[in-house]
Amino acid sequence: MDRRQLLQMGALLGALPLASPSNAATKVAEPLTALSLTEAARRLRAREVTSVALTRAYLDRIAIYNPKLNALITVMTESALAQASALDREAQKGAFRGPLHGVPIILKDNIDTAGTRTTAASEVFDERVPTEDAFVAAKLKAAGAVILAKANMHEFAMGHTSATSYFGPVRNPWALDRTPAGSSGGCGAAVISDLCAAAVGTDTGGSVRMPAAYCSMVGLKPTYGLVSIRGIVPLVYSIDHCGPMTHTVEDAALLLNSMVGYDADDVASLARPPEDYVRSLRETRVADLRLGIPRAPYFDRLDPEIAGAMEAAIGVLRSLTRSTRDVQLPPVPLSASALSAETELYHRPYLAHDARGYSLSIRRGLEGEQKALDDVADAPCADKVGDYIQASWDLTLARRRIDAAFTDFDLVALPTMRLPPPTINEALAREETPQPREPEIDNNCRFFDVFGIPAISVPCGFTRGGLPIGLMIAGPRFSEGRVLALAHAYEQATTWSQRRPALSADMTVPPIIRRG
C-alpha cells in the first residue's frame, strides 16, 4: 500500500465515528457544568438557574479535578460567589448587564485582574497583584461575566507546551501524561473538562488555537487590534492577540461580542464599526464561500493520522461551500523571534532584580537576548537593532498585503497542528536541556499571528490513541463573521465537538521527570 492509499484510508477512517476509548467518553452527565456558554446564558436570562448555583457547581467540579489537571493557578472562590450573588440580585430586578450576565468564565493568568494576583505562571510575579483590570477583563465584567479563576499557562507565554510553569505543568485531560499545548494550556484543559463555561486566552504564536486543537475545543484568534491587549503581560506586543476559548463556535462568537471595543490607550487597538458576531455567524451564506486549501508548507510533514483526519474534514467542507481548491498563501516575512527585542526590553528590569525567579529555560532565552542588546556600540547589537527595524517594516507590509491573497478565495482551511501532543516529560526534556532551538514543525498557527488575520481551530477528529486533532479556518482581516460561519457549519455537520474526556476523581497522575 503506497502513501496515497494510506492517506485515503486515513481519510475514510477519520470520517467514521470512533469507538469510544477509555479516555474519549461522551458528555459528562453534569446538569449545570456541561452547559455551553450560550445555553448557560439563555437559562440565566430566563431565570431557570441562578449565577450562584452555576458558580458553585463549577467550584465543586474544580475542587475535584483541578488537583489532577493543574489547569488553574488561583481560584477566586469568595469574589466569584460575591459577584454571582450581586448579579443574581440585579437579574431579579430585570437588570441585565449584558449577554454574559452571571456566566462563570476564567482568564489566562497573564490578564490583569484588579485585587487578584496575576502571575504569568512565574515565580517572578508570584506576589504581583494588579490595581486595575485589563481592558478586556473590564469589558467582560461590564457584560456580566463572573471571573471564576486564573488559568495556568506556559511561563510568561514563552513556550507552546504549558509544561514550564512555576506552578507545575498543565495536564491534557484526554491523556494526563500529555501536554495540552500552550501557552494557554490551562484555559484549554479547563474548558474541555467543564471547569468553566468558557475562557479567555492570548495568542502570539498559536497559544489560543494550539490548546484548542490538543484539547478538542474551539479557539479563536481575532484580527490583530480588534481586542485590546492593554493590561495583558506582553510577549511580543506587535504580535500579541487575545481571544475566546469555548466549547462551541457559537459560544466563541458570543464571547467575542463582549471582548471587542476600541481602547484609545492601547497602541494596537483599532476602531471598527460594531458587529454582532452571533448574527454574522447565522446570516453568512456558507454555500457561497470559496475555500482555499494551502497545501505548502502547511501540510508538510503531517502525522499520517492527522493527514487522514484533514482529508476527511476537507471532504465535509467541500460539501458545505461553493468551491474548494488548492491555493498558495504569500510567504511569511518573519517570525516572532525577529521581534524578540520587545520581549527582552519588558523583562530587562525583572531579570536585573530577580533572574533566579525565572525557570531555567526561560532565563536562558532572555539572557541570550539581553546579551545581544547590551552594548549599542557592539556590531552584533547593531545588527540586532537593524533586524528589529526591518522586521517591524516587514510586519507592517505583510499585514497591508495579506488581504490581496484572498482575491480568488474567501477562506482557507488547514491543520492546526501537524503532530499529536508530546508527553510532558518529552516537552520538559527539550525545554530544560541546553540544545540548539529546533524548528517548530508542529505548529501552523504562528503564520497567522504575523499576518494578524482571524483564525479559528475546531475539533475534527482523534488519533487511534484518543488524542484530539484540530482543523484551522482563517480569512482576511476582519472576516471573523465568515470564519465563524464556516467553522459553525462544519461543527454542525460533524460530531467531534460533542465529545468530552472521561475524568474521574481517582485518576492516576503520571510522574514528572525533570532533567534540567
Q: Which of 83, 199, 82, 103 is nearest to 152 (CA)?
A: 199
Catalytic residue, candidates 51, 207, 258, 269: 207
Paired residues of 325 in beta bridges: 292
CA distance 203 to 292: 24
Which amino acid type is present at position 455? A
Query: Which helix H or strand E contains 424, and what residues bound it?
Result: helix 424-432
> CA 353 to CA 336: how far, in whole Å?
26
Which of 292, 220, 294, 299 has its CA nearest to residue 252?
A: 220
CB-based contact 469:463 (threshold 8 Å): yes
Alpha carbons 105 and 195: distance in angstroms, whole number: 9
215 closest CA partner among 476, 459, 503, 15:
459
CA distance 95 to 44: 12
Q: Is the dihedral of CA 438, 509, 14, 254 positive or negative?
A: negative
Cα distance between residue 353 and residue 409, in whole Å? 51
> Is residue 108 annotated as a catalytic residue, yes or no?
yes
What is the residue-wise DSSP string for 221-268? Answer: E--TTTS--TTB--S-TTT-EEEEEESSHHHHHHHHHTT----TT-TT
Q: Is the preceding peptide bond at 207 cis, omega within 30 degrees of 0?
A: no
Indicate which residue of 108, 141, 150, 221 is catalytic: 108
Q: From 324, 135, 95, select the one nearest 240 (Cα to Cα).
A: 135
Q: Which residues pair with 293 in a beta bridge?
A: 326
Give residue 101's identity as a one-letter amino acid code.
H
207 catalytically annotated = yes
On the CB side of 255, how many CA atoms lie within 13 Å of its CA?
35
State the DSSP code for 244: E
Q: Give the Cα separation of 423 and 426 in Å (integer).
A: 5
Residue 79 annotated among the catalytic residues of the structure: no
Catalytic-role residue among 51, 183, 269, 280: 183
Whole-number Å distance between alpha carbons of 354 and 363: 10
Contact predicate 99/195, CB 8 Å? no
Contact predicate 164/195, CB 8 Å:
no
* The residue type at 89: R
- Any residues with CB less than 8 A from the CB of 453 and at least 6 apart, and which? 223, 224, 402, 474, 475, 476, 477, 479
Round to the nearest angstrom and report the end-to-end CA distance of the chain: 43
Give the total residue count for the chain. 516
Count Cβ atoms within 10 A of the Cβ of residue 404 and give its class: 0-12 exposed, 13-18 middle, 19 or more buried.
exposed
Active site residues: 108, 183, 207
